[in-house]
């Protein structure tokens, strides 16, 4: 707390130098210098319950993938990649070339790689100029996913990537994960494309291997989260796929969501007939990820609550709806808050204005998550904890807030009751030292 007071008191006296009042890209590299951050980095943070699969690990990891064999590249205004055993016959702005040949032909490989790397991140030096509104931010965000999709969905890469993502979480002292996935169709070098169930099985295989290699890791589950900008017929297909996964892999399946830019997608009310008949799937809906008030977007919060959502993703607009706020508290609906995501994706510039401070003051069931940290080169979770603790929570908020947030992540997870008890025991056993880097329990018995 002394370290926290030092940082905040300096910022109070020198507001122009308080980094957290600026864009995340302008202060992110200074976070590791903070003594508060170093403590938070070593702190057990429980679980992460709101994370999207293809934006977990940062650009350097993705750049390394471009050194693999059989990778073709189409260089143009938008760079495209595809693994193939022959020249792809898909549309290309210029022409498909082997990435290895293009790299060898570059006059300066370091400069070439730096140019390629820029397509694997939305971080820029002048974010206020490049991203003046949410339109430009989401356009860049969409380009990011379009670029990384074919790199990661090459079947041999998928399992390895998710295994490495779990390793990144464990290294950041996160021991349980609920990952949201559109379940992209994986493919082979010969062009074979697999059904979504194969992607789900690849998740399970990576998770089981990781748990075997790291017995202290509790595990991971899947939230099937396809795009929300669809018609009811497509939604019916989504629900059928979700039920197929739940039936064949109940240990893996956690629930169902609809994702994408909320303002630009279909509101939940469009799908009420289908969703009312699918409540057996467990809903973890994105809702209220908007600055608007009195629109179909923020009113997604109403339908998320009425449809019996177990948790709500973002819930950024919830503070504008006091009746819903009370219902969330009464029904114990977890709020998956993603402070850095909301800041980077143009909902809030100064994190001191983030509604998380209202949620904390009202003692709402908050769970901190990081959404898409790889896209903006953040830690799997520690950066969000640090910014929330120092920049959003009360100056007087202390270790009890951090502990509550960690325990909430287990309480509101889709873990079975026995697993939750085991994890809570692990957290509580460390009372004397308050926080320990190594898990105290590895045997659920």
Q: Which DSSP string corresponds to 75-141?
A: -SSS-EEEE-SS---S--SS-EEEHHHHHHH-S-HHHHHHHHHGGG----S-HHHH-SSHHHHHHHH
Q: How far is the C-alpha of 403 from the C-alpha of 73, rounded, in Å?
A: 47
pLDDT above 90: percentage of residues in the chain:
91
Arithmetic mean of pLDDT over the chain: 93
325-336 burial: b if 16+ Cβ within 10 Å, else e: beebeeeebbbb
Known catalytic membership, residue 22: no
Known catalytic membership, residue 149: no
Q: By C-alpha distance, which of 352, 319, 351 is closest to 335? A: 319
Q: By C-alpha distance, which of 198, 197, 203 is closest to 246? A: 197
Which positions ≥6 away from 156 have C-beta within 8 Å?
A: none
Give 239-280 pLDDT, tens digit per residue. Answer: 999 999 999 999 999 999 999 999 999 999 999 999 999 999
pLDDT of residue 437: 41
Enter the tokens of residue 153. Answer: 């969905």
Enter the tokens of residue 367. Answer: 């769970």
Region of poorest pLDDT, from 58-67, 224-233, 289-298, 429-438:
429-438
Which positions ≥6 away from 353 have C-beta within 8 Å?
A: none
Chain-centre distance for alpha carbon 289 = 14
431 pLDDT tier (thresholds 50, 70, 90):
very low
Query: Considering 314, 354, 377, 427, which one is annotated as catalytic?
Result: 314
417 pLDDT tier (thresholds 50, 70, 90):
low
Give 18-47 pLDDT, tens digit per residue. Answer: 999 999 999 999 999 999 999 999 999 999
Q: How far is the C-alpha of 322 from the C-alpha of 320, rounded, in Å?
A: 6
Q: How far is the C-alpha of 368 from the C-alpha of 45, rounded, in Å?
A: 9
Write the burial class of residue 306 (CB in 10 Å: 0-12 exposed, 13-18 middle, 19+ buried).
middle
Query: Scanning the structure block, which residue is given the tokens 């640090």?
Result: 386
pLDDT of residue 78: 85
Query: What mean pLDDT comes out for the span 124-150?
Result: 97
Query: Considering 7, 289, 299, 336, which one is annotated as catalytic?
Result: 289
83 pLDDT tier (thresholds 50, 70, 90):
very high
Q: How far is the C-alpha of 36 from the C-alpha of 31, rounded, in Å?
A: 9
439 pLDDT tier (thresholds 50, 70, 90):
very low
pLDDT above 70: percentage of residues in the chain:
93
pLDDT of residue 424: 59
Give 183-209 pLDDT, tens digit per residue. Answer: 999 999 999 999 999 999 999 999 999
Write the burial class of residue 431 (CB in 10 Å: 0-12 exposed, 13-18 middle, 19+ buried).
exposed
CB 217 within 8 A of CB 415: no
Give 86-104 pLDDT, tens digit per residue. Answer: 999 888 888 999 999 999 9
pLDDT of residue 420: 61
Phi, psi of 80 (to 5 degrees): -125, 145
What pTM was computed for the model?
A: 0.92
Enter the tokens of residue 277. Answer: 């008949």
**Domains of the chain: which residue ranges?**
6-58+159-429, 61-120
Query: What mean pLDDT comes out for the span 8-26?
Result: 96
Regarding predicted confidence, which is higher, 255 or 436?
A: 255
Query: What mean pLDDT comes out for the span 303-330?
Result: 97
Q: Is the pLDDT of residue 349 over 50?
A: yes
pLDDT of residue 91: 86
pLDDT of residue 444: 36
The CATH number assigned to the domain with range 6-58+159-429 reads 3.20.20.140
pLDDT of residue 416: 81
Q: Is 276 left (phi over 0), alpha (psi -120 to 50) or beta?
A: alpha
pLDDT of residue 90: 86
442 pLDDT tier (thresholds 50, 70, 90):
very low
pLDDT of residue 419: 64
CB 217 within 8 A of CB 210: yes
Q: Is the pLDDT of residue 233 over 80?
A: yes
Query: What mean pLDDT comes out for the span 218-231?
Result: 97
Regarding predicted confidence, which is higher, 404 or 423?
A: 404
Q: Give the strand pairing for 284-287 and 96-98.
A: unpaired
pLDDT of residue 76: 82
Chain-centre distance for alpha carbon 424 = 24
Q: Is the pLDDT of residue 54 over 50?
A: yes
Give 152-169 pLDDT, tens digit per residue. Answer: 999 999 999 999 999 999
Q: Is the pLDDT of residue 433 over 80?
A: no
Give 387-416 pLDDT, tens digit per residue. Answer: 999 999 999 999 999 999 999 999 999 998
Phi, psi of 312 (to 5 degrees): -120, 130
Q: How far is the C-alpha of 231 from the C-alpha of 235, rounded, in Å?
A: 6
Q: Is the pLDDT of residue 429 over 50?
A: no
Q: Is the pLDDT of residue 128 over 50?
A: yes
pLDDT of residue 421: 59
């Amino acid at each position: 707390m002394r370290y926290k007071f030092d940082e905040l008191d300096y910022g109070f006296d020198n507001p122009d130098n308080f980094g957290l009042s600026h864009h995340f890209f302008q202060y992110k590299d200074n976070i590791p210098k903070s003594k508060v951050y170093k403590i938070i980095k070593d702190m057990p943070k429980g679980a992460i319950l709101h994370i999207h699969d293809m934006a977990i690990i940062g650009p350097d990891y993705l750049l390394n993938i471009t050194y693999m064999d059989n990778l073709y590249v189409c260089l143009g205004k938008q760079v495209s990649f595809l693994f193939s055993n022959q020249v792809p016959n898909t549309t290309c702005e210029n022409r498909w070339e082997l990435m290895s040949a293009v790299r060898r032909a570059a006059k300066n490989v370091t400069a070439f790689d730096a140019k390629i790397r820029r397509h694997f991140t939305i971080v820029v030096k002048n974010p206020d100029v490049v991203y003046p509104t949410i339109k430009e931010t989401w356009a860049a965000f969409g380009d990011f996913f379009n670029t990384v999709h074919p790199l990661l969905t090459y079947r041999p890469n998928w399992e390895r990537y998710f295994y490495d993502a779990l390793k990144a979480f464990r290294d950041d002292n996160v021991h349980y994960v609920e990952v949201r996935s559109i379940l992209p169709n994986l493919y082979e070098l010969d062009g074979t494309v697999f059904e979504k169930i194969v992607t789900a099985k690849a998740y399970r295989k990576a998770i089981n291997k990781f748990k075997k290699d790291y017995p202290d890791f509790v595990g991971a589950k899947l939230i099937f989260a396809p795009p929300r900008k669809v018609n009811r017929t497509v939604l019916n297909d989504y629900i059928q796929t979700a039920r197929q996964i739940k039936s064949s892999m109940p240990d893996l399946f956690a629930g169902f969501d609809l994702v994408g830019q909320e303002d630009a997608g279909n509101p939940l009310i469009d799908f009420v007939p289908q969703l009312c008949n699918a409540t057996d799937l467990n809903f973890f809906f994105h809702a209220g990820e908007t600055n608007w008030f009195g629109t179909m977007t923020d009113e997604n919060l109403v339908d998320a609550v009425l449809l019996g959502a177990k948790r709500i993703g973002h819930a950024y607009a919830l503070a504008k709806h006091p009746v819903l706020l009370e219902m969330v508290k009464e029904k114990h609906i977890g709020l998956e808050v993603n402070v850095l995501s909301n800041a980077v994706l143009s909902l809030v510039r100064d994190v001191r204005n983030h509604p998380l401070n209202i949620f904390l003051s009202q003692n709402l069931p908050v769970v901190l998550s990081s959404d898409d940290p790889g896209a903006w080169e953040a830690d799997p979770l520690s950066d969000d904890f640090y910014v929330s603790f120092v920049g959003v929570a009360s100056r007087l908020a202390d270790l009890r807030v951090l502990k509550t947030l960690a325990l909430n992540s287990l309480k509101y997870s889709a873990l079975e009751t026995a697993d939750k008890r085991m994890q809570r025991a692990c957290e509580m056993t460390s009372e004397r030292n308050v926080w320990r880097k190594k898990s105290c329990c590895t045997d659920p018995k």
